[in-house]
């Protein structure tokens, strides 16, 4: 308080300086972030056709949203397909990349390991390279006679024509097991649906092409998250691990009861960032098949771009963007609630098993350091 | 078992770091397995880049016939690097350099100015702007592609260098990183300089900014990498091929049907050349990257 008061004399001058310092950022973010959001809201509820100023367009209410969400038609079908594709993408990428990152970080964290720096660099490097460069390499590796299929052929597997294969993986597996006959799909699945797609189509699983994109995403972003876990692992208190070891806890028990609770804030961060990132997938979609083959790699982010810049349906494009935004917000909130419940549940259940007294403090310490970073 | 943690005397600290050791053979096996796993993954992570390099020196036919081989049947740049000029690659490279330079310098300057103001200076509306900056960070970038294009058109900045550079000159995450850093450094030095009645800008420029060197380097690297690799924004901010950066240029190679064959040596050579600057920056400033990974986490 006294510090503020002693500055009282120059406070006016400081106020001016403060505003001068902040003005460039405020102007740029205002013009190119805040204003666009406002314009986009207006475009999504007006009949602007792409010509002239959007301000001269007239209000049409939620009509664009209706076309996308309620009215049966191509727009609704495309949105449905894009949501299905992205949902499979998220469901597979987020857990796999989180587990992979944690797995690599745990191995790298071992004390007596040499060449840590080398491995860390190798795993992290894809994260700093351009998505365009990486997609170029993947397009080459995943051709019909490419690198991946050659390696698969060593094991007697005849690889698919990755980026051109629209077949749903779940459907392939089920028909391989003779559970589902793809020539005669079960009527109770085909006759009902949601967002213009039958349940049979919803349950097709990610297409083979989408699987290649899933592999790409895991491969690229795994390294970043590995680094976050690695940093967090250094904060796992050695004395608790020691004590647990002395008590004869196995590696796995230590990992479950000491390491994981200490990593919870990082785990939360990694999953949140994963969710936000995977729902926004755009570059890879644009660069590989532009939604193809057979719209099985279409995602809301790309659909929004395509509706606006390809079909000049600006209102619909903007509306899709806001639907996507809503999905991301809802997903993050759901994840937050789920993770919060987990935080209290195991503690109550953990009577007999190893429950180190330090766990709670560790979590708090880790969360406070994690937050400041 | 849970009470064991509290047992006070733990005198012999040295052997405790590993606890009761498993038998030697077991430990050796574990280490071998750990290395085997790491080397397998290192191969998965490095081999694609090696293939990228090797294929840049192959012919298209060779690349298709022996995609896995790291040694070209005949070393040639005839179908790769020699073709680059024909597709206007030098122009893309120049554009990328220009954009990345301006954006990096601008971001570092404006973000640290704003970060400093938000951390240290008292002015009306500081709290509101702080909140706004954090809120803006939460908005997913892809959602804004259409609206950004609309604003660029309205401001007559579409398809110009200005339009590609100015909107990127400040970013909320960078402001946030700088603000966090300025809060963490002690205020005493500034107070001393303030008594010397140095102007606020001079104080910032010659006292505060030099102290913030690690944060400035981190932000420089993040900004360079971000603008060099930026793709989706340049996709909507320009239309003419003359303004292609490396990302949009190479993207046009991927989708375009230029000439015969799949042209993989050409595409991979282009991808390789665009990776080199980031790779150099990465290997030189690695520790800043690693610091930035957690700081940039906010960026999403």
Query: Which pLDDT tens digit goes with each residue over B185-229?
Result: 888 877 777 766 667 888 888 888 888 888 899 899 989 999 999
In this prediction, residues A285-308 reach a mean pLDDT of 90
- Please tell me the predicted confidence (pLDDT) of residue B123: 86
- Please tell me the predicted confidence (pLDDT) of residue B196: 65
> Searching chain B, which residue's CA lies closest to the CA of residue A244?
B5
Q: What is the pLDDT of residues B6-59, one digit of tens each?
A: 444 444 444 444 445 556 777 788 888 889 999 999 999 999 999 999 999 998
Q: A346 vs A187, A244, A257, A337, A341, CA distance in Å? A: 43, 18, 10, 15, 9
Q: B237 vs A145, B91, B165, B230, B244, CA distance in Å? A: 37, 17, 10, 11, 10
d(C-alpha B77, C-alpha B63), whole Å: 12
* Token pair in block for residue A27: 């102007």
pLDDT confidence band for A166 (50 / 70 / 90): confident
Q: CB contact, 8 Å: A138 with chain B?
A: yes
- Collapsing DSSP to helix, strand or coil, A143 comes out as coil
pLDDT confidence band for A370 (50 / 70 / 90): very low
- Please tell me the predicted confidence (pLDDT) of residue B195: 67
Long-range contact set of residues B94-98: C-beta below 8 Å, sequence gap at least 24: B95/B243, B95/B244, B95/B245, B95/B246, B96/B228, B96/B245, B96/B246, B96/B247, B96/B274, B98/B161
Q: What is the pLDDT of residues B232-258, one digit of tens each?
A: 999 999 999 999 999 999 999 887 655
- Please tell me the predicted confidence (pLDDT) of residue B121: 86
Q: CB contact, 8 Å: A190 with chain B?
A: no
Structural domain boundaries, residue B159? 89-256
Is residue B69, in this structure, part of any structural domain at all?
A: no
| Secondary structure (DSSP) of A117-129 | HHHHHHHHHHHHS
Of the listed ranges A358-367, B156-165, B180-189, B283-292, the one predicted with least confidence: A358-367
**Cα radius of gyration rounded to whole Å, chain A:** 25
The answer regarding whether domain A67-168+205-372 maps to CATH 1.10.3720.10 reads yes
pLDDT confidence band for A11 (50 / 70 / 90): low
Residues across chain A? 373
- Nearest-CB residue to B278 (from A130, A290, A372): A130
- Please tell me the predicted confidence (pLDDT) of residue B197: 63
pLDDT confidence band for A155 (50 / 70 / 90): very high
- Please tell me the predicted confidence (pLDDT) of residue A241: 81
- Please tell me the predicted confidence (pLDDT) of residue A185: 76
Is residue B113, in this structure, part of any structural domain at all?
A: yes
Rounded to the nearest angstrom, the minimum Cα separation between B268 and chain A is: 7
Backbone angles phi, psi at B8, to 5 degrees: -70, -55
Q: CB contact, 8 Å: A314 with chain B?
A: yes
pLDDT at B269 over 80: yes
- Please tell me the predicted confidence (pLDDT) of residue A238: 78
- Please tell me the predicted confidence (pLDDT) of residue A283: 93
Domain boundaries, chain A: 2-63, 67-168+205-372
Question: Residue B254 and residue A139: Cβ atoms within 8 Å?
Answer: yes
- Please tell me the predicted confidence (pLDDT) of residue B284: 87
Of the listed ranges A355-359, A366-370, B238-242, the one predicted with least confidence: A366-370
- Nearest-CB residue to B42 (from A113, A119, A129): A119
Residue B255, number of CB atoms within 10 A of its CB: 11
- Please tell me the predicted confidence (pLDDT) of residue B236: 93
Angle value at C-alpha B254, between B253 and B259, nearest 5 degrees:
55
The count of domains in chain B is 1
Is residue B15, in this structure, part of any structural domain at all?
A: no
Is residue B95, in this structure, part of any structural domain at all?
A: yes
> A271 pairs with which residues across the strands?
none
Question: Residue A21 and residue B122: Cβ atoms within 8 Å?
Answer: no
Q: What is the pLDDT of residues A17-60, one digit of tens each?
A: 888 899 999 999 999 988 888 888 888 888 877 777 777 777 88
Question: Average pLDDT over chain A, rounded to whole?
Answer: 81
Q: CB contact, 8 Å: A88 with chain B?
A: no
Give ipTM to 2 decimals: 0.85
In this prediction, residues A347-353 reach a mean pLDDT of 41
- Please tell me the predicted confidence (pLDDT) of residue B42: 93
Q: What is the pLDDT of residues A75-128, one digit of tens each?
A: 888 999 999 999 999 999 999 999 999 999 999 888 778 888 899 889 999 988
Rounded to the nearest angstrom, the minimum Cα separation between B211 and chain A is: 18
pLDDT at B298 over 50: no
Is residue B206, in this structure, part of any structural domain at all?
A: yes
- Please tell me the predicted confidence (pLDDT) of residue B27: 78
Is residue B192, in this structure, part of any structural domain at all?
A: yes
Higher pLDDT, A32 or A197: A32
- Please tell me the predicted confidence (pLDDT) of residue B292: 61
pLDDT confidence band for A167 (50 / 70 / 90): confident
pLDDT at B162 over 60: yes
- Please tell me the predicted confidence (pLDDT) of residue A282: 93
Higher pLDDT, B149 or B287: B149
Domain CATH number, residue B133: 1.10.3720.10
- Please tell me the predicted confidence (pLDDT) of residue A213: 95
Is residue B208, in this structure, part of any structural domain at all?
A: yes
pLDDT at A371 over 80: no
Q: CB contact, 8 Å: B185 with chain A?
A: no
- Please tell me the predicted confidence (pLDDT) of residue B257: 53
Is residue B76, in this structure, part of any structural domain at all?
A: no
């Amino acid at each position: 308080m006294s510090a503020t008061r002693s500055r009282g004399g120059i406070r006016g001058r400081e106020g001016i300086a403060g505003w001068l310092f902040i003005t460039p950022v405020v102007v740029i973010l205002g013009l190119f972030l805040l204003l666009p959001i406002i314009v986009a809201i207006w475009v999504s509820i007006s009949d602007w056709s792409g010509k002239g100023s959007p301000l001269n367009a007239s209000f049409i209410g939620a009509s664009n949203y209706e076309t996308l969400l309620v009215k049966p038609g191509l727009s609704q079908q495309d949105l449905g397909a894009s949501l299905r594709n992205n949902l499979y993408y998220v469901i597979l990428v987020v857990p796999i990349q989180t587990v992979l990152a944690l797995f690599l970080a745990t191995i790298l964290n071992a004390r007596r390991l040499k060449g840590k720096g080398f491995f860390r660099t190798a795993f992290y490097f894809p994260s700093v390279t351009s998505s365009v460069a990486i997609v170029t390499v993947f397009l080459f590796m995943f051709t019909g006679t490419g690198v991946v299929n050659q390696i698969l052929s060593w094991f007697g597997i005849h690889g698919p024509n990755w980026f051109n294969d629209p077949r749903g993986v779940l459907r392939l597996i089920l028909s391989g097991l003779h559970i589902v006959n793809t020539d005669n799909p079960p009527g109770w699945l085909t006759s009902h649906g949601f967002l213009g797609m039958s349940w049979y189509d919803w349950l097709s699983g990610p297409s083979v092409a989408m699987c290649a994109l899933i592999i790409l995403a895991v491969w690229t972003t795994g390294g970043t998250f590995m680094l976050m876990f690695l940093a967090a692992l250094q904060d796992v208190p050695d004395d608790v691990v020691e004590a647990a070891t002395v008590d004869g806890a196995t590696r796995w028990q230590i990992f479950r009861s000491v390491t994981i609770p200490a990593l919870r804030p990082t785990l939360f961060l990694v999953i949140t960032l994963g969710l936000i990132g995977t729902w926004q997938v755009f570059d890879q979609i644009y660069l590989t098949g532009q939604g193809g083959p057979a719209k099985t790699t279409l995602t809301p982010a790309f659909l929004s771009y395509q509706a606006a810049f390809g079909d000049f349906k600006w209102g619909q494009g903007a509306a899709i963007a806001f639907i996507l935004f809503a999905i991301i917000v809802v997903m993050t909130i759901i994840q937050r609630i789920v993770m919060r419940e987990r935080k209290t549940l195991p503690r109550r259940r953990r009577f007999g098993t190893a429950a180190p007294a330090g766990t709670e403090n560790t979590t708090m310490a880790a969360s406070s350091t994690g937050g400041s970073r | 078992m849970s009470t064991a943690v509290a047992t006070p005397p733990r005198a012999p600290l040295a052997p405790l770091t590993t606890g009761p050791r498993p038998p030697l053979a077991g430990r050796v096996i574990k280490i071998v397995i750990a290395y085997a796993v790491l080397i397998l993954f290192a191969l998965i992570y490095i081999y694609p880049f090696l293939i990228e390099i090797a294929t840049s020196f192959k012919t298209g036919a060779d690349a298709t016939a022996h995609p896995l081989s790291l040694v070209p049947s005949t070393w040639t740049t005839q179908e790769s690097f020699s073709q680059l000029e024909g597709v206007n690659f030098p122009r893309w490279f120049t554009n990328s350099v220009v954009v990345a330079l301006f954006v990096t310098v601008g971001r570092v300057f404006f973000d640290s100015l704003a970060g400093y103001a938000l951390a240290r200076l008292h002015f009306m509306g500081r709290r509101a702007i702080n909140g706004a900056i954090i809120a803006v960070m939460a908005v997913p970038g892809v959602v804004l592609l259409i609206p950004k294009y609309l604003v660029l058109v309205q401001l007559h900045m579409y398809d110009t260098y200005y339009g590609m550079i100015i909107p990127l000159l400040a970013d909320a995450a960078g402001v946030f990183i700088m603000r966090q850093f300025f809060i963490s450094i002690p205020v005493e030095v500034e107070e001393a300089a303030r008594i010397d009645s140095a102007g606020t800008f001079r104080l910032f420029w010659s006292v505060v900014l030099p102290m913030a060197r690690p944060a400035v380097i981190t932000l420089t690297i993040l900004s360079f990498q971000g603008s060099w690799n930026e793709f989706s924004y340049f996709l909507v901010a320009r239309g003419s091929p003359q303004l292609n950066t490396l990302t949009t240029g190479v993207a046009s190679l991927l989708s375009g049907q230029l000439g015969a064959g799949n042209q993989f040596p050409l595409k991979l050579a282009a991808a390789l050349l665009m990776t080199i600057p980031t790779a150099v920056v990465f290997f030189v400033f690695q520790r800043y990257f690693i610091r930035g990974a957690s700081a940039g986490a906010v960026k999403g």
